Structure 1
Amino acid sequence: MTADRPRVLILGGTTEGYALAEALVADGRWDPVSSLAGRTANPRPPAGDMRVGGFGGPEGLARWLTDQGIAAVIDATHPFARRMGWNAATACADTGVPLLRLERPKWVPRDGDAWTLVPDWDAAVDALRTLRAQRVLLAVGRQEVAPFAVLPDVWMLIRSVQAPDPMPPFTHAELLLARGPFSLEDETALLRDQRIDTIVCKNSGGATESKLAAARALGVRVVMRDRPRRPETVTVATVDAATGWLDRAIG
Structure 2
Amino acid sequence: MRVIVMAGTADARRIIGKLSERGVEVTATATTDYGAELAGISGASETVSRPLTEKELCELIEEKGAGVLVDATHPFAVRATWNALKACHETGAVYVRFERPPVDAGEVIRVGTFREAAELASSLLDDGEVVMHLAGVSTLPEVTGVLGPERVAVRVLPYTPSIEACRKLGVPGRNIIAMQGTFSVELNRALLRDYGAGAVITKDSGETGGLKEKVRAANELGIPVILVERPSVDLEGEAVFSDPEDLVEYVEGVLSSLKGDGP
On whether the aligned pair clears a TM of 0.5, the verdict is yes
Q: Is 1:22 aligned with 2:22?
A: no
Contact 1:188/1:214 (8 A) holds in 2: yes
Cα distance change on mapping 1:141 and 1:97 into 2, 3 Å: same
Contact 2:156/2:179 (8 A) holds in 1: yes
Supply the distance in 2 between the matched residues of 1:92 and 1:42 (Cα, whole angstroms): 22
Q: Is 1:213 aligned with 2:207?
A: no
Gaps of 5+ in 2: 257-263
Supply the distance in 2 between the matched residues of 1:21 and 1:74 (Cα, whole angstroms): 10
1:13 to 3, 8, 11: 8
Give the match's secondary structure for 1:48. Answer: coil
Query: What TM-score do the two structures reach when normalised by structure 2?
Result: 0.82
**Alignment partner, residue 52 of structure 1:** 49
Supply the distance in 1 between the matched residues of 2:240 and 2:14 (Cα, whole angstroms): 16
The 5 A counterparts of 1:187-198 are 187-198=188-199
Q: Is 1:234 aligned with 2:239?
A: yes
**Alignment partner, residue 260 of structure 2:** none
**Alignment partner, residue 122 of structure 1:** 115
1:68 to 64, 68, 72: 64
Give the match's secondary structure for 1:25. Answer: helix
Gaps of 5+ in 1: 1-5
Contact 1:153/1:172 (8 A) holds in 2: no
Give the match's secondary structure for 2:175. Answer: strand
Contact 2:3/2:67 (8 A) holds in 1: yes
Cα distance change on mapping 1:152 and 1:66 into 2, 3 Å: closer
Supply the distance in 2 between the matched residues of 1:187 and 1:118 (Cα, whole angstroms): 22
Supply the distance in 1 between the matched residues of 2:149 and 2:170 (Cα, whole angstroms): 13
- In terms of mean alpha carbon deviation, does 89-98 or 225-234 score higher? 225-234
Contact 1:138/1:157 (8 A) holds in 2: yes
Cα distance change on mapping 1:98 and 1:220 into 2, 3 Å: same
Contact 1:74/1:99 (8 A) holds in 2: yes
Which amino acid in structure 2 is aligned with residue 141 of structure 1? G
Q: Is 1:37 aligned with 2:31?
A: yes
- In terms of mean alpha carbon deviation, does 224-233 or 169-178 score higher? 169-178
Quote the offset at 1:95 in angstroms: 1.6
Contact 2:28/2:36 (8 A) holds in 1: no
Q: Is 1:106 aligned with 2:102?
A: yes
Supply the distance in 2 between the matched residues of 1:80 and 1:226 (Cα, whole angstroms): 9
Quote the offset at 1:14 in angstroms: 0.8
**Alignment partner, residue 90 of structure 2:** 94
**Alignment partner, residue 3 of structure 1:** none
Quote the offset at 1:103 in angstroms: 2.1
Superimposed CA distance per residue, residues 2-48 of structure 1 (whole angstroms, 9 cap, x where no aligned partner): xxxx21110011111111111111112x2111111126487322313
Percent of pairs identical after alignment?
23
Alignment RMSD, CA only?
A: 2.4
Which amino acid in structure 2 is aligned with residue 71 of structure 1? G
Quote the offset at 1:51 in angstroms: 1.9
Contact 1:160/1:179 (8 A) holds in 2: yes
Give the match's secondary structure for 1:107. Answer: coil
Report the structure, 1 or 2, having the larger helix content: 2
Which amino acid in structure 2 is aligned with residue 167 of structure 1? K
1:247 to 249, 252, 257: 252
Superimposed CA distance per residue, residues 142-175 of structure 1 (whole angstroms, 9 cap, x where no aligned partner): 2332223332597322211241434323589722
Quote the offset at 1:246 in angstroms: 1.2
